[in-house]
Structures are given as structure tokens and as C-alpha cells.
Amino acid sequence: MTQTQTRPAAATDGDPSGALTADTMHNLQAAFGGSSAYRLAQNAITRHSVDDVALNHRVVFAADHTFSTVLDDWAVTDQKQTGRCWMFAGLNLLRFSARQKLSVKEFEFSQNYLMFWDKLERANYFFEAIILVITVATFIGVNLARFVEQPAARLDVKLLVGPNDI
């Protein structure tokens, strides 16, 4: 049996403009304070996340957790703490298809190869951005030493501080 709670009539004033008057606010506060359901909800969301409180466990338990595709028992490639999880996740997905296509039990892509090209592309982006800054500064006739101090160039100076964050 599903139980629903309706808002008390005192919580609305019927004003079509939707204006919140002092009287309306007083009525809303009184209705809130007089409702044990509202107090229960307030206590729940102040101690837990809204996602946890709003979770409908019946839906979670009713969900079918079977899979239509069964994968072989193959080990994942451990990235340890190298910060390359995006690359390992992608390569592990590609590895499954490559193993099937090549009809081999063990197969692994080279993470070092991809990391090399990723770093090379990032370095290229960094150098292209620096060249653009120099080109713009030269074009507008600004002394490069003073150009770096200008607020408009500060965004590009970030490149010099942390090029790995590109």
C-alpha cells in the first residue's frame, strides 16, 4: 500500500501571481513545523545525501542484474597509480575484441606507446599555444617581457606554469 502525503491547505494562499508575502511565509513555516513527515525528511537530508534518501529500494531490488554478454575470465591490466586510468579502461575494452579477432588467449596493448603519443600531442599543443602568444604579441607590437604581465596574457601564462594540465 502506497501512502501519499498532501500539503496542508495552509501552505498555499491561492495567489495567482505566486508572490511570497510575509503572511504566506508564516503559513508555510507553521505548516512545516507542524508536520512530523516534514521534520523527518529534514532530519534525513541533513544527515545523508539527497540521493541516498530519495533512493527507492523497491526499484533497486526489482532490477534484473543478469548480463546478456559473458566475458572470458581474463585479467585486467593494472595501471597502479600512474594516472592513466582513462587509457587503461579504453585499451581493456579494445583488448577483448582484439583477442577474439586474433584468436589468442592473452593479448595486451602497449600503454607506453599510447602514453608517448599522448605526451607528444600535449607538448605540441603547448608549443603551438606559446607560438600563438608570441605571434599575437609581435603582431600588436608589445614587448614580450611586458606582454606576459598583461591580464589578457595571464591565461596563456598558465601554460608555462603547468603544461601537463593541458
Q: C-alpha 15: how far from its chain's center?
A: 40
Q: Annotated catalytic residue: which of 85, 115, 123, 166?
A: 85
Render 102-132 in DSSP notation, one character per residue.
HT-S-----HHHHHHHHHHHHHHHHHHHHHH
Residue 91 and residue 109 in contact, taking contact as beta carbons nearer than 8 Å: yes
Q: Do residue 166 and residue 134 come from a single domain?
A: yes
Q: Which residue has the higher pLDDT, 69 or 90?
A: 90
Q: Note whether residue 142 is domain-resident.
A: yes
Q: Note whether residue 124 is domain-resident.
A: yes
pTM for this entry: 0.41
Q: Note whether residue 121 is domain-resident.
A: yes
Q: Note whether residue 156 is domain-resident.
A: yes
* Number of folded domains that form the chain: 3
Give the DSSP letter of residue 165: G
Q: Note whether residue 116 is domain-resident.
A: yes
Q: Note whether residue 147 is domain-resident.
A: yes
Q: Is 144 helix (H, G, I), strand (E, B) or coil?
A: helix
Tell me which residue range forms the domain holding 13.
9-62
pLDDT band at 10 (very low <50, low <70, confident <90, very high): very low
156 is catalytic: no
Q: Which residue has the higher pLDDT, 74 or 109?
A: 109
Q: Do residue 154 and residue 120 come from a single domain?
A: yes
